[in-house]
Amino acid sequence: MTTSSLSDITTPTAVGTVLAGVAGFLIITNMSRILGRAKTSFYYGKKSILLRTKEGKEISLADLCKSVLPPCRLNPFLFNGHLQTIWTVIKSKSSPIYYKRWLFDQEDPAYPGTFAVDFVVKPYESKDAILPRTTRYADDEFRNIGSDDSKPMLVCLHGLSGGSYELYLRSVLGPLVTEEGGWEACVVNSRGCAKSKITTPVLFNARSSWDLRQTVKWLRETFPNRPLYGVGFSLGANILTNYLGEEGADCQFKAAVAVSNPWSLDVSNMGLQSTWFRMNVYSRAMGTNLKKLYGYHKDQVLKNSAIDAQEVENVRFLHEFDRAIQCPTWGYPTEQAYYRDASSTDSVLAIRVPFLAISAEDDPIVWDAAIPRQEFLQTPYGVLCTTSLGGHLSWFKPGGGRWMADATTAFFQKMARDVDQEHYSKHHPLPEGEIGMVKRDSVKAWFDPMRRKMHISA
């Protein structure tokens, strides 16, 4: 570009024209964001499994998800992921779910300790509350809890340091567990969360699927005719996804949903440390919550002599907590090794039941780069739905409701009411059902997504 041509576009009139054009472009391209209209994208394999309806028709899992998930229309005043996410911590009106709790002893000697499961029950009055609207089952009452009814039952996993009381979780349970909704539900609380006591130094971690596994086994035996479904939120979504991959074709869930999964924990961790704001707002908040949780169970946790009490006291951020607690508890040399091992991205490829994942691209806690779009393009069993707006566990609509609750309710009700899940076509990408199978002379090679690195021996 010559000097004269450069001066032509730097005159006041030309600059004004350029600025007006840029402003117009920004307004047009951000109009959807300004109006709260989120763009919805779907990622799934070419051979999405075929589901047979109770009317005898067939529909692919991908087409089912695209047909039942509603348009994502969010509150225009909460026009980015930070505002959506911050708004979720503000106390607001939500479904008043009532629970009764039972403490289970872990049967697997590799993961000793107790864990609390909260079961949704009809409203009651009680002065002996563990949490608001949460009390304990009496022994004789729990012994008679079994039933041969065929109501669909949802098993829920909450987010980091949360519990059954969380607003986001109750917003999903609310429309399902009403008389009209027709569902039963329970929440598997991570060890030490929701005012549950731990009986060993073992807290939860991002791979702790063992308590969920025992709960599902118990539910299958206690309610033999109930179709079981799973939903996980944030860290609970990561645990659920790993569990689904570990169980593979033997999974007892008819379908499952993961909401705001952090997926690649090492990538999301780098995102949390990428800016001063993310580090000092989100990572610090999560580190503070975990440190409080540690404080409730300090006496038990410190029975593990490998944990340095002073190091824990100095914790400020999430990754520092994982370095001080998770690494010495599970034998990881660094928190990054823990994150890589506990990530659920590869688990997507081992899932063998209908699986829907919902993630927001502007989630300030889960980096967009962590969302495994390519993995969903390789599996017939999963559908990933991303929205351009929504934040972390948020998706607030005008009026205060959450789009994610509408989406999960629509998906679960469709699966439970209209799909004959005993007869769905299992399309495998290869005859052996392996991802990336290659044959070279007499040699076969393939990728095993669940060849995890952590080894436990009793």
Tell me the C-alpha distance between 259 and 236, whole Å. Answer: 9
Chain Cα centroid distance, residue 252: 18
Exposed / middle / buried, residue 337 (Cβ in 10 Å: 0-12, 13-18, 19+) = middle
Nearest to 317 by CA among 292, 350, 290: 290
Q: Token digits for 419? A: 């799909």
Active-site residue, selected from the candidate residues 362, 363, 394, 406: 363
Structure tokens given for 172: 């999903």
Of 260, 347, 392, 406, the active-site residue reads 392
Q: Is 190 a known active-site residue?
A: no
Q: How far is CA 341 from CA 24, 196, 234, 257, in A?
A: 47, 27, 17, 22
Rounded to whole angstroms, the Cα distance separating 201 from 89 reads 29
* Cβ-Cβ contacts under 8 Å for 368 (sequence gap 6 or more): 361, 362
257 touches 284 (CB < 8 A): no
Parallel, antiparallel or unpaired: strands 382-387 and 40-44:
antiparallel
- What is the rounded CA–CA span in Å between residue 323 and residue 256? 31
The yes-or-no answer on residue 441 being catalytic is no
For residue 27, how many other CB atoms are within 10 A of its CB?
10
Which residues neighbour 73 within 8 Å (Cβ) at sequence distance 6 or greater?
A: 36, 37, 38, 397, 398, 403
Q: Which are the contacts of 409, defined by CB distance < 8 A and separation ≥ 6? A: 172, 175, 176, 181
Catalytic residue among 190, 234, 260, 264: 234
Residue that has been written with the tokens 């999903």 in this structure: 172
Size (the chain), residues: 458
CA–CA distance, 75 with 94 (Å, rounded to integer): 17
363 catalytic? Reply is yes
| Catalytic residue list | 234, 363, 392
